[in-house]
Amino acid sequence: MRLQLVTALGAVAGAACSLLAEGAGAAMLGVLPFTAGGFIYLGTVSVLPELLRDSRPLQSCLQVLALLAGVAMMVLIAHYE
């Protein structure tokens, strides 16, 4: 429970930092690619092997397509934001 509290406090601290830095403009341009890269890394290194291990080939293809769709959505949001 203590470790869960530490991670929750980290999430709250990150949200507070992002709200405080909202008006920083050009100084924050590197944050979005860094965050997206972290999510892509976590998805491909830790989550994807678990998903592919216990599923049929069609299900595996659908899961990979869903991961790629998520990446595409991040690109579109970054482009049109």
Please give the tally of structural domains in the chain.
1
Instruction: Give the predicted TM-score (pTM) of the model.
Output: 0.49
- Check: CB of residue 44 under 8 Å from CB of residue 52: no
**Do the domain assignments include residue 30?**
no
Using CA atoms, how far apart are residues 39 and 45, in angstroms rounded to an integer?
10
Find, among 11, 18, 46, 51, the residue nearest to 32 by Cα: 18
Q: For residue range 45-70, list pLDDT tens digits in order.
A: 887 777 777 778 888 788 888 888 98
3-state secondary structure of 29: coil
Question: Percentage of the chain surpassing pLDDT 90?
Answer: 1
**Do the domain assignments include residue 52?**
yes
**Do the domain assignments include residue 35?**
no
3-state secondary structure of 64: helix
Question: Percentage of the chain surpassing pLDDT 70?
Answer: 85
Domain interval for residue 55: 1-23+45-80
